[in-house]
Amino acid sequence: MKYKFCIAFFLLLISQQINAQDTIQIKEVIKSETRFSQYSNLKTEIIDSTLKSYYKNASLDELLFKQTPSFIKSYGGLGNLSTIVLRGSNSNHVSVNWNGFPINSISTGGTDLSLIQSGFFNNITVIPGASSSLYGSGTFGGAIELNNLYNQPKGFDIRLEIEPGSFHTVKNSIETNYSGNSIQYRIAIDKIFAENDFVFLDNFKINPVPERRKNNALNSFNIFQTLKLNLPKSNTIEAGIWYILKYKEIPEIAGSYETGNKNQTDSIFRAFFRWKKLNKHSIFSLSTAFFTEYLHYTDKLNIADLNYFIDSEINSLSVFSDLSYRYYFNKKLTIEFAGLFNRQKIQTSNYINDHIADNNYSLLMAAQYKLLKSEINFSFRNEFSLELGFIPVFNAGLTKKILNEKLTLKSSISNKFRRPTFNERYWLPGGNSKLKHERGISVDINPEYVLKKEPNQLIKVSATTYYSKIYDMIQWIPDTNQVWTAVNNNEVNIIGLESDFNLIFKKNNFVYSFNTSYNYTYSVQTNVFRHSNFEFPAKLIYTPEHSAKLFFSTTYKKINIGLSTQYIGKMFTTQDNNLLYVLSPFVITDLYSAYHFKIKNYLIDINAKIINMFNSRYQLIKSYPSPGRAIYVSIRLTYKKE
């Protein structure tokens, strides 16, 4: 009933606005906004451009760990599996999107951020608490947008870069951009090799001594291309191709006296195509994407063995279609309708059946209405699949500016869902085809106050409080035969605060930038955890209750210096919150420097960074040590012709 009322309310707004249409041109009101940013008023985290330049050759997990209100779970070392946690949820509760299409694994639901090179994207945005009505399944934690905005200035440039570093690491990359009146094209290629043979102290061994990490090497290749064509009669075409090939040795768990023989190969191909037609008051868009992933995991009992002890292959296919129509009634009211289709297919011997496929259909309506110093956003989605039936979700948000527009108040409420992954439904043994989808509700309140806004100075402070409740959360627990099985076992309450302070100050030839944030997360199961007939509520694992981050940079003419610090509080690592296995708090500090100069059409950048400069010992996942102090130096040569 509440969904019908919301829809009727916005249809009433439409009817009132049709008669009051202004004579406007589409270019006056259209912005280069995605559907997600057009109809959402949630606070977003856009990665600082200076910090992003330091991590141009780094994977996405390395970059997001430095600034965003997130926790990165990593198995330690460049290229090891790394996933993101937002707002005390799980890694499969964050939707990662490339130009509008989710790239989460259909087998696990999460995204390995170590496979994603941050320098490939013009814009990286983190949306904590993103709505399911706009993004679909799995946004209890939030969403990440990786977008290519096609906003290069006209001309041609080519960039070559090499970055050697600690632990026998070498990164090489080449990038070319061309932008003309009707075409924009970009191609980027990178090659990374790292031994990851850092020194660590294995406290799980008797009489531990410093030793080097073994069987931890990375060898990866990435190629990335995007294209935009401006065609006659306001037609545009956007397309992209992204290929990843990664070979990774997987080290043994701490405490093991074995060298390790585990290896994993990932081969990933992604492509998308989008056609847009701009009319006087509307945009018609047709988008499609095709993703394939191949994972090959092997292990031997002994390195000399001819046969593998484990030889696992997973082939997956995802196909997406998105047909949408957005209409601008006037400068106040915008409405959009869309139909979406997604087919998922997996072939593997690890499942109950070798071939598993699933189709999902969605209908979406979104609207934005602007009043004087206010904005209302609403979206509704009804998703359907044969296994789960209909899943209706909505999001409603309000933005209000007061006190001479110095104070901006944002609030939103939404319900959410997550479909069970293929592993949770079909893994052998333990998969459960009768799982229900996770469901829940989220509420956000975000005041942002601008203390000072002048041409040479900007000071603002922001705080977001949020509440989420997740029902039927899926968890793997042992059954009566001690077989780990996926069940709808948990009910979770999450309460949190995300606060930050930003300062930008310019004086003479100096530019200072300062950003600091503090995050509080209380994420707890409100029903019981079933273990050995003993029942009690418990906090979710790998969820630091307290965390803080700081980034400072100063620029003087051609020189830039930066400093970042991250504090991560203690974390439970077992479902029963056993204090013997708690990860201790830690602090990591990084130092950056950059110098650039120009010779005719050539721009030369020299960058240096010291990661974990105080050599802190820490773990992001229990029993998997992370690297100590590391030094990287890069030289970038760019040729530009306008």
Are 488 and 477 spatial neighbours (Cβ–Cβ below 8 Å)? no
pLDDT (tens digit, 9 = 90+) per residue, 436-474? 999 999 999 999 999 998 889 999 999 999 999 999 999
Task: Indicate if the pLDDT at residue 198 is higher than 90.
Answer: yes
Q: By three-state DSSP, how is residue 232 classified?
A: coil
Q: Which two tokens stand for residue 26?
A: 């589409």
67: tokens are: 């600034």
Domain count, the chain: 1
Whether residue 235 lies inside any domain: the answer is: yes
Q: How far apart are CA 541 and CA 619, in angstroms?
A: 14
Domain span including residue 174: 2-597+616-633
Q: Indicate whether 607 belongs to any domain.
A: no
Higher pLDDT, 320 or 524: 320
pLDDT of residue 259: 83
pLDDT for the residue numbered 534: 43
Q: Which helix (H) or strand (E) holds 432?
A: none
Cα separation values, 625 from 136, 187, 255, Å: 35, 36, 11
pLDDT at 574 over 70: yes
CB 445 within 8 A of CB 42: no
**pLDDT tens readout for residues 102-127:** 999 999 999 999 999 998 998 899 99
Q: How confident is the model at residue 589 (pLDDT cuts 50, 70, 90)?
A: very high
In a domain, 89, yes or no: yes
Task: Answer yes or no: is 527 within a domain.
Answer: yes
Q: Which residues pair with 565 in a beta bridge?
A: 550, 589
CA–CA separation, 377 and 368 (whole Å): 5
Task: Identify any residues that bridge with 513 across adjacent strands, giving them in sequence order.
Answer: 504, 553
Residue 221 has pLDDT above 80, yes or no: yes
For the ranges 5-19, 403-417, 508-522, 615-629, which has the lowest average pLDDT? 5-19
pLDDT confidence tier of residue 150, bands split at 50, 70 and 90 = low
Q: How much is the CA Rg of the chain, to the nearest whole Å?
A: 25
Tokens 């996926």, residue located: 486
- pTM of the prediction? 0.91
Centre a 10 Å sphere on the Cβ of residue 446 and count the other Cβ atoms it contains.
Answer: 22
Instruction: Please report the pLDDT score of residue 14 as a whole number.
Output: 46
Is residue 363 in a domain?
yes
Is 477 a domain residue? Answer: yes
Q: What pLDDT shows up at residue 536?
A: 59
Please state the φ and ψ torsions of residue 601, each to the nearest 5 degrees: -90, 10
Query: Does the residue 641 lie in any domain?
Result: no
Please, which pLDDT band fits residue 521 given cuts at 50, 70 and 90?
very high
> Going along 139-194, which residue ranges are E strands?
142-147, 155-165, 169-179, 183-194
Cβ-Cβ contacts under 8 Å for 380 (sequence gap 6 or more): 3, 6, 7, 133, 364, 365, 366, 392, 393, 394
- 110, part of any domain: yes
pLDDT above 80: residue 249: yes
Neighbours of 153 (CB within 10 A): 9
Task: Name beta bridge partners: 336.
Answer: 326, 366
Contact, 469 vs 490, CB < 8 A? Answer: no
Determine how many CB atoms are found less than 10 A away from the CB of residue 310. 11
Comparing CA positions, the residue from 126, 161, 88, 174 lying closest to residue 469 is 88
- Would the pLDDT of 628 be above 90? yes
Express each pLDDT in 332-390 by its tens digit.
999 999 999 999 999 999 998 888 999 999 999 999 999 888 999 999 999 998 888 89
Q: What is the mean pLDDT of residues 536-540?
A: 77
> Mean pLDDT lowest for which of 20-29, 360-369, 426-435, 623-632?
20-29
Confidence of residue 5 (pLDDT cuts 50, 70, 90): very low
Q: Is the pLDDT assigned to residue 183 strictly greater than 90? A: yes
Q: Is the pLDDT of residue 132 over 90?
A: yes
pLDDT tens figures, 281-299: 999 999 999 999 999 999 9
Instruction: Supply the CATH number for residue 200's domain.
Output: 2.40.170.20
CB 532: neighbour CB atoms within 10 A? 7
pLDDT at 533 over 50: no
Of 576, 588, 640, 577, whose CA–CA distance to 614 is shortest?
A: 588
